[in-house]
DNA sequence: CCCCGCGTTGACTGACGAGTCAATCCAGTG
DNA sequence: CACTGGATTGACTCGTCAGTCAACGCGGGG
């Protein structure tokens, strides 16, 4: 794939994937037909099966493609030295929120059809999803070691709360429960981190001693 | 419905609803047949359509039934005077977590198939879901007025973070990403509240003046 | 010029499953 | 006992798609 198409020709595979994003986001994975995707892509029905084995494989591809980018981003943020945990978490929040801002349909599909679909489909990707939590937990964990974050809240637990809060925000936007403006997006980044870190950081009055 | 069955006879409608919980939780709403529900209930296929208009109506009923109980619980907690916001939020967290503890399958169905299913189905219930956020926001808002919670984080925003964190926990249990023991459930109640409130309450050192 | 083979087409099939319905059961009623 | 009407049954219908496949287009290579 990739360079296999004739010069000048559009990458039909990509075209189909993009069409799928639109259609899945609009109608939902279960409530759309493969022909809807083909139509949206302006491509014959059969061609979809030339590039993909099944309808699910398309969703699969969309998820893995995007999720990997996020995992890489988190890993890179993890790797930064010197930077305070709060700032790292801000970067993670920014990345996710910006992902939604730039590709709302894709993020909607990933969240609604994969991340939150415990049955059948989501199961396959649990490992990938777990990786994301682990990456975030990593950030929290090092902050705990440094005594910046409370020791009695486990890193995994904190990571779930943090990610959960962000995903809930995205859901709020997806469901039109929250206003969607550039300011909202920008503001949300700081607010989630404030809300969560304020609860994770040891209180400003009496700093906890670094044990060991 | 209710008292319409013959004396001594089981309430088949209830039987079907309970069977649906089991089947929807196990196979997912989209990946099960109505006959699966009928079989699980030990009832003829057609009887399902005697009590319900469609497969979706069953899910509908399950959601509304349970969600209303939660809304009532939140409303009642709202109404409590004297009690600090932190304690009220603890009560909300307790209620939701206990709901999962006692009826994991039902909560799984509600979360996976309704709450998080933005397309088609969930849309119908947005208003109900929004009510829950509003109830929680109410608690946060009064705490803000009293100067206990930071004024720069809006109540709606805080409510979403709080609810999001809890739902993520349930997801963690549903997906088997988090250990499920009585201690975990109990501990989680305090930890979510700690994590979130710590970030919402003004810092212990210099209390913020009540403006206005 | 003719073939090879990938890319492309879209009509078709086959399965599946939601919802229907005519028939049966049975408790109560007069 | 005859009759009524809700509860119950499960075989059947009928639309809907996911996935198949035979054929066609066309660029390139010999």
> Along the 212 residues of chain B, how does pLDDT read in single tens digits?
444 454 445 799 999 999 999 999 999 999 999 999 999 999 999 999 999 999 999 999 999 999 999 999 999 999 998 899 999 999 999 999 999 999 999 999 999 999 887 666 667 789 999 999 999 999 999 998 988 898 889 999 999 999 999 999 999 999 899 999 999 999 999 999 999 998 545 454 444 444 43
Q: What is the pLDDT of residue A93?
A: 98
CB distance from B159 to chain A under 8 Å?
no
Q: What is the pLDDT of residue A56?
A: 95
Residues B30 and B110 in one domain: no
With bands split at pLDDT 50, 70 and 90, how would you rate the model's confidence at A124? confident
**B5 within domain boundaries:** no
Residues B16 and B104 in one domain: no
Residues B45 and B68 in one domain: no
Q: What is the pLDDT of residue A120?
A: 62
Residues B39 and B137 in one domain: no
Alpha carbon B121 to its chain's center: 17
**B211 within domain boundaries:** no
Average of per-residue pLDDT across A66-78: 97
Residues A15 and A111 in one domain: no
A149 beta partners? A201
> Is A161–B198 a contact, with Cβ atoms under 8 angstroms apart?
no
**A4 within domain boundaries:** no
- Domain containing A41 equals 10-52
Whether the Cβ atoms of residue A116 and residue A126 lie closer than 8 Å to each other: no
Instruction: Count how many residues are written for chain B.
Output: 212
Q: Determine which of A22-31, A123-132, B3-12 has the lowest per-residue pLDDT on average.
A: B3-12
**A162 within domain boundaries:** yes
**B138 within domain boundaries:** yes
**B92 within domain boundaries:** yes
Q: Which bases in strand D are touched by protein, i.e. have an atom under 7 Å from a CB?
A: 6-12, 16-22, 27-28
Q: What is the pLDDT of residue B81?
A: 83
Residues B133 and B156 in one domain: yes
| A153 contacts on B by Cβ (under 8 Å) | 191, 194-195
**A132 within domain boundaries:** yes
- CATH number of residue A134's parent domain: 1.10.357.10
Residues B167 and B70 in one domain: yes
Alpha carbon A84 to its chain's center: 22
Distance B147 CA to C2 C1' (A): 87
Can you tell me which residue has the tokens 């607010």?
A191
Give the Cα separation of A199 and A152 in Å (integer).
Answer: 12
Residues B82 and B172 in one domain: yes
pLDDT, one tens digit per residue, over A139-191 is 999 998 988 898 889 999 999 999 999 999 999 999 899 999 999 999 999 99
CB distance from B156 to chain A under 8 Å?
yes
CA-based nearest residue to A70, from A48, A112, A100, A35? A100
Query: What is the average pLDDT value for chain A, to the nearest integer?
Result: 88
Report the domain count for chain B: 2
Residues A107 and A137 in one domain: yes
Q: What is the pLDDT of residue B50?
A: 97
CA-based nearest residue to A165, from A67, A92, A85, A71? A92
Q: What is the pLDDT of residue A117?
A: 77
Higher pLDDT, A162 or A123: A162
Calculate Rg over the CA atoms of chain A: 20
Residue A209 has pLDDT above 60, yes or no: no
- CATH number of residue A40's parent domain: 1.10.10.60
Average of per-residue pLDDT across A115-130: 79
Half-sphere exposure of A18 (CA within 13 A, CB side): 9
**B158 within domain boundaries:** yes
Q: What sections of B80-154 are H helices per DSSP?
A: 85-102, 104-109, 121-124, 126-145
Residue A76 has pLDDT above 80, yes or no: yes
Structure tokens at A135: 């990456």
Alpha carbon A27 to its chain's center: 20
- Cα-Cα-Cα-Cα dihedral of A11, A13, A14, A19, to 10°? 120
Residues A34 and A97 in one domain: no
Whether the Cβ atoms of residue A140 and residue A200 lie closer than 8 Å to each other: yes
Residues A99 and A24 in one domain: no
Residues A97 and A16 in one domain: no
Residue A207 has pLDDT above 70, yes or no: no
CB distance from A151 to chain B under 8 Å?
no
Structure tokens at A117: 């679909």
Q: Could you say which residues from 84 to 113 on chain A have a Cβ atom under 8 Å away from some Cβ of chain B?
A: 108, 111-112
Residue B48: exposure state from Cβ atoms within 10 A (0-12, 13-18, ≥19): buried
Q: What is the pLDDT of residue A1?
A: 41
| B118 contacts on A by Cβ (under 8 Å) | 28, 108, 112, 171, 174-175
């Amino acid at each position: 794939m990739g360079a296999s198409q004739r010069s000048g020709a559009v990458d039909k595979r990509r075209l189909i994937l993009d069409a799928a994003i639109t259609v899945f986001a609009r109608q939902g994975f279960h409530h759309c037909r493969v022909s809807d995707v083909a139509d949206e892509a302006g491509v014959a029905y059969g061609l979809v099966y030339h590039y993909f084995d099944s309808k699910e494989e398309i969703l699969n591809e969309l998820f893995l493609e995007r999720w990997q980018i996020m995992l890489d981003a988190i890993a890179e943020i993890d790797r930064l030295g010197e930077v305070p945990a709060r700032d790292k978490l801000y970067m993670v929040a920014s990345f996710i929120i910006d992902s939604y801002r730039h590709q709302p349909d894709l993020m909607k599909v990933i969240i609604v059809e994969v991340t939150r679909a415990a049955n059948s489909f989501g199961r396959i990707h649990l490992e990938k999803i777990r990786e994301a939590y682990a990456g975030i937990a990593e950030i929290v964990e090092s902050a705990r070691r440094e005594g910046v974050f409370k020791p009695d809240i486990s890193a995994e637990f904190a990571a779930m709360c943090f990610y959960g809060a962000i995903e809930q925000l995205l859901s709020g936007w997806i469901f039109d429960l929250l206003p969607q403006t550039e300011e909202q997006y920008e503001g949300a980044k700081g607010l989630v981190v404030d809300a969560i870190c304020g609860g994770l950081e040891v209180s400003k009055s009496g700093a906890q001693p670094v044990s060991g």
